[in-house]
Amino acid sequence: MVAPENPFLSIVPRRNEKIIDMVSIVKELRELVTETLKGDVLIVLKGGYGSGKTLISEHLAKFLKKKNVEVRRLTCTQEIIDDIRAIPDERKKDIFVVVDGLDVCMGMDEVMTNKLLDLLMERSSKGLTFLLECTPDVLERFYSLNRRFEKFSRVVNIMPIGYDEARELVVSRLNEIRKRKSESVEPFTEDELKKYWKTSRGNPRMILMLCQSMYDRKVQ
């Protein structure tokens, strides 16, 4: 008998995957973006690796596109300053810019990092709205290098997900390969899943990684 494909091979939450225990964060971001769509503030989405930053920003982008807002996603590379400067000052509609991959800044020297932060604040003052996806370490570095950035930014924190939400995520993945949808966590037990959740400290990606590593053993 051939074992079913491991539904946890992808440990990155999918774009169309339901946001679990993050509805309040998305709501907070929607309200904040609506208030600050003309700039003058940098919105920081703060969370550890695998906490769901990209998933949340993708859902926010869908909301803004329905509001006729142009959404652009920039990945932080050595060309990030040129990429930001390339966004036109004159535009027919509001532009919302998501910047991810800011871990690169941990390897940048202080001069280059400050240059990036100053540019972000300058462009924001001229009407652009930015959402920066930051880990705690990256945000702490920004604060230590640029006091003005700390005053200019508004931080939204991503909290760890609860067990019920972790269970929902696992069940949704299992249902992708089931002939009939179910609320069961089989081939895992509830106790095993609770152990994975505690080990992950509520980090969605870590939960998926733990399930991925154990799934094949459970179905053999």
Say what the pLDDT of residue 19 is.
62
Do 184 and 125 reside in the same domain of the chain?
Answer: no
Do 147 and 74 reside in the same domain of the chain?
Answer: yes
Residue 57's nearest CA partner among 74, 38, 41 is 74
Please give the chain's pLDDT, 220 residues, in tens: 445 689 998 877 666 566 656 778 888 999 888 887 777 789 999 999 989 898 899 889 999 999 899 999 999 998 999 999 999 887 778 889 999 999 999 999 999 999 999 999 999 988 889 999 999 999 999 999 999 999 999 999 998 989 998 999 999 999 999 999 999 999 999 999 999 999 999 999 999 999 999 998 888 7
Say what the pLDDT of residue 20 is.
59
Written as one letter, the residue type at 60 is L
Q: Is residue 8 situated within a structural domain?
A: no
Q: Is residue 194 situated within a structural domain?
A: yes
Domain that holds residue 107: 23-157
Say what the pLDDT of residue 13 is.
66
Give the long-range contacts of residues 142-145, CB within 8 A, separation 24 or more: 142/105, 142/113, 142/117, 145/110, 145/113, 145/114, 145/117
Say what the pLDDT of residue 3 is.
55
Residues 6+ apart with CB under 8 A from 45: 29, 53, 56, 57, 131, 132, 133, 134, 156, 158
CATH code assigned at 138: 3.40.50.300
Say what the pLDDT of residue 157 is.
94
Q: Is residue 137 situated within a structural domain?
A: yes
**Which pTM value belongs to this model?**
0.85
Say what the pLDDT of residue 1 is.
41
Q: Which residues of 80-116 are buried (b: 16+ CB within 10 A; e: fewer)?
A: bbeebeeeeeeeeebbbbbbbebeebeebeeeebbeb
Instruction: Report how far apart, in Å, the C-alpha atoms of 10 and of each of 39, 48, 65, 123 are.
Output: 36, 18, 27, 36
Say what the pLDDT of residue 220 is.
75
Residue 133 DSSP SS3: strand
**Residue with tokens 């509830």, as numbered in its chain:** 190
Say what the pLDDT of residue 127 is.
84
Do 153 and 182 reside in the same domain of the chain?
Answer: no
Do 89 and 126 reside in the same domain of the chain?
Answer: yes
